[in-house]
Copies of this chain bind each other. A is one copy, B any other.
Amino acid sequence: MDKYCFLNGEIIPLTEAKIGIEDIGLLRGYGVYDGLAVIKGKVFRFEDHWNRFISGAHALSLNIPITPEKTKEVIEELAVKNGFDQRANVRLILTGGKTLNGIEYDFNKPTFYILVEKWEPLPEDYYKNGTKLITYRHAREWPTHKTTNYIQAVSLQDLRKEQKAVEILYVYDGEILECATSNIFLVKNGKLITPSDGILGGITRKVILELAKASGQYEIEERLVYEDELKTADEIFITSSFKDVVPVVNIDDFEVGNGQVGPITKDLMQAFAKVTNMG
């Protein structure tokens, strides 16, 4: 089955979707990105993703050549056209278009495209028995925006696989920040704790905070989180639009809490699954 995408105003076959090699998204890595889930034909939390996307575009002075309504419509159309009736991964990419003078671009001629791809769920066992993180000393350059700069993340994939880890946790200056493509939560004495600054505000993270708050069961702390707290946490989990809520039972060479997926993690995994209708 041929796959389709959306490139600069048109839905076209993915095999024909190409851009010029002078694009500043390539030459200078100048672009913003977003990753969304389309679930049973509907984009999950479209407005939140869109707001993040436009905030990144503004930060980079990029012109978004499409309305949110049209974007949502195209995503849902591509999900059908590509045969993903259950769930798919969506990527929005916006660059400055053709490079001028080696380092500039024409604001009025951006490159914008949408990919709707097969969703590959993590193994069931990861959700049941938990996963491992490895830590790496790094802080992203533009942490609050989702730029296309994932050089550090991509370069660590071999190490991640070697170490049988699901994600790489960036720590910097004694602080826990975020994973390469996920956010992190700690549970301690029934409190839900997550880093507040120097991170990308994930949409799954946002929904988890909303659910935890609405349940009235958990105290929530969004704050600076120290690396030391990893070793004393009762539970840890990560969140991402393509992975949902994933329990973490090992970090580097130590076990988290009692090494089992904890009750609060399980509770929030269930609550999240209900929201996405995947539960």
For chain A residues 158-194, which have a beta carbon within 8 Å of chain B?
158, 180-181
> Quick one: which of A21, A22, A30, A33 has the most chain B CB within 10 A?
A21
In the A-B complex, the 4 residue pairs with the smallest Cβ-Cβ separation, listed nearest first, are A29-B29, A18-B18, A28-B150, A29-B148
How many of chain A's residues have a CB under 8 angstroms from any CB in B? Answer: 55
- Does chain B have a CB within 8 A of A117? yes
Interchain CB contact (< 8 A) of A22 among B30, B115, B150: B115
**Residue on B nearest A138 in the bound complex, by CB:** B141
- Does chain B have a CB within 8 A of A96? yes
- Does chain B have a CB within 8 A of A242? yes
State whether A91 touches B26 (Cβ < 8 A).
no
A33-B27, A148-B27 as given contacts; A19 in contact with B19, CB under 8 Å: yes
**Could you tell me the dominant secondary structure of chain A's interface residues?**
mixed
Interchain CB contact (< 8 A) of A102 among B89, B138, B140: B89
- Does chain B have a CB within 8 A of A214? no
Q: Could you give 25 example pairs across A and B, Cβ below 8 Å?
A: A5-B21, A14-B20, A14-B22, A18-B21, A19-B19, A19-B21, A19-B26, A21-B113, A22-B115, A23-B26, A24-B154, A27-B33, A28-B148, A28-B149, A28-B150, A30-B150, A35-B102, A59-B155, A61-B158, A96-B154, A103-B150, A103-B153, A103-B154, A103-B180, A141-B151
Interchain CB contact (< 8 A) of A29 among B14, B115, B150, B158: B150
Copies of this chain in its oligomeric complex: 2
A19-B21, A21-B18, A149-B149 as given contacts; A28 in contact with B154, CB under 8 Å: yes
Extra pairs beyond A14-B20, A142-B152 (7, CB < 8 Å): A5-B21, A21-B113, A24-B154, A28-B150, A60-B151, A101-B120, A105-B154
Interchain CB contact (< 8 A) of A31 among B26, B59, B95: B26
**Residue on B nearest A141 in the bound complex, by CB:** B141
**Residue on B nearest A105 in the bound complex, by CB:** B154
- Does chain B have a CB within 8 A of A80? no
Bound state CA distance, A103 and B150, in angstroms?
A: 8
Bound state CA distance, A29 and B153, in angstroms?
A: 11
State whether A147 touches B154 (Cβ < 8 A).
no
Q: Shortest beta-carbon distance, A149 to chain B, in Å? A: 4
| Cβ proximity bits A104-145 to B, threshold 8 Å, 1 near / 0 not | 110000000101010010000000000000000010111000
- Does chain B have a CB within 8 A of A276? no
- Does chain B have a CB within 8 A of A25? yes
Which chain B residues lie closer than 8 Å to A28 at the CB level?
Answer: 148-151, 153-154
